[in-house]
Amino acid sequence: MPQFATKHFGIIEFEDDAGFEFPCGLPGFEQERRFLPIEQPGTKPIVFLQSLTRPELCFMTLPVPVVEPSYQLAVAPEDLRILSLPEDRQPEIGSGVLCLAIISVAEDRPPTANLLAPIVVNLKTRQAAQAIQVESGYSHQHPLVAASGEGACS
């Protein structure tokens, strides 16, 4: 079983087929092609995407339906091809497709989720892409805290 030493999780063991393959990398991280999803019991529903080449590179994500239950996924034809998904219809979240929003956390502002460019994963092939939805109306800084200042899960 392969092992990988990470900065945040120590040495992790994983099955060869457990990782996600990003054929085009991620914007800003084009050389990073393989990530391992890590779920920790105490932090669910957070899914950490740990790079399998850079020990220090790990993205915090949430399943998009947790952030926005009525989210409408619209994947561009080129991304459907990358994901090996049928081009004649849009994929349905939860039906063979995982959709994750990258979370941004900064000291001076509340955490936000990137709903404009979610990570879409074909669970059958484990191929993944960050699918930018230019005309969707979604934001790359969707607040995770309600406007009143109360937690969204309160």
CATH homologous superfamily of 3-143 equals: BH3618-like (2.30.290.10)
If you write DSSP's letter for every residue of 8-48 in order, what string do you get?
TTEEEE--GGGSEE-TT-BTTBTT--EEEEE--GGGTT-EE
Q: Give 51: exposed, middle or buried? Use CB within 10 Å, 0-12, 13-18, 19+.
A: buried
pLDDT attached to residue 154: 35
pLDDT attached to residue 136: 87
pLDDT attached to residue 135: 82
Q: Give 3: exposed, middle or buried? Use CB within 10 Å, 0-12, 13-18, 19+.
A: exposed
> Could you tell me the two tokens for 26?
């991620």
pLDDT attached to residue 36: 98
Q: Which residues of the chain have pLDDT under 70?
A: 146-154
pLDDT attached to residue 146: 57
pLDDT digit string, tens, across residues 20-58: 999 999 999 999 999 999 999 999 999 999 999 999 999
pLDDT attached to residue 149: 44
pTM for the full predicted model = 0.91
